[in-house]
A = this chain, B = another copy of it.
Amino acid sequence: MDVLEAIMTRRSIRSYTGEIIKEEDLRIILQAGFQAPSAHNFEPREYVVISDRDTIERIAGFHKYAQMLPKAGCGIVVCGDQTKQSEMGFLVEDCSASIQNMLLASHGLGLGAVWCGLYSVKKLTDAMADILRLPDHIIPIGMVVVGVRDREKDAVDRYDESKIHFDRWREE
């Protein structure tokens, strides 16, 4: 699938067949995550792949927008390492770029995926850090849930000219 087509047609997919995704597809999705840029090229990202049933149930138990996880192929929690990037904004940006790459790669592979936000909602990051036994310097930023989608979703055009400004802010 062409990159522009992938960007324009990708949708958040929360409904799956329950099949486990193939190991080679998981590897491609993770590779896509690593390929994202990072500030100063510090690459401060760590990935926790979730496929154990108990871990899945515990995550679905605390995150109300992760209820689809038990029927997905897996979850991938993208974490930022504060010892590699101490500027918190950059850490979030680096992890987010990685997540967006993984969403697009999943779509390109014909899979469905969705981004479940974690940071900066403290009760979500605390619960996830506890379940995954993350050290204090590893901050869970977001989770990609990916699976074999059980239906197609039409593309949506989100372009909005009123949000484009030239050289300085102008209210419409």
Contacts and interface: CB of A to CB of B under 8 A. Distances in A.
Interface string A21-44: 000000010111011110100010
A55 B132 CA distance: 46
A22 to B, nearest CB: 15
A47 to B, nearest CB: 5
Interface in A32-81: 32, 34-37, 39, 43, 45-52, 55
Interface of A: 1-8, 10, 12, 28, 30-32, 34-37, 39, 43, 45-52, 55, 87-90, 92-93, 96-97, 99-101, 103-105, 107-109, 114-115, 117-121, 131-135, 138, 141-142, 158-160, 163-169
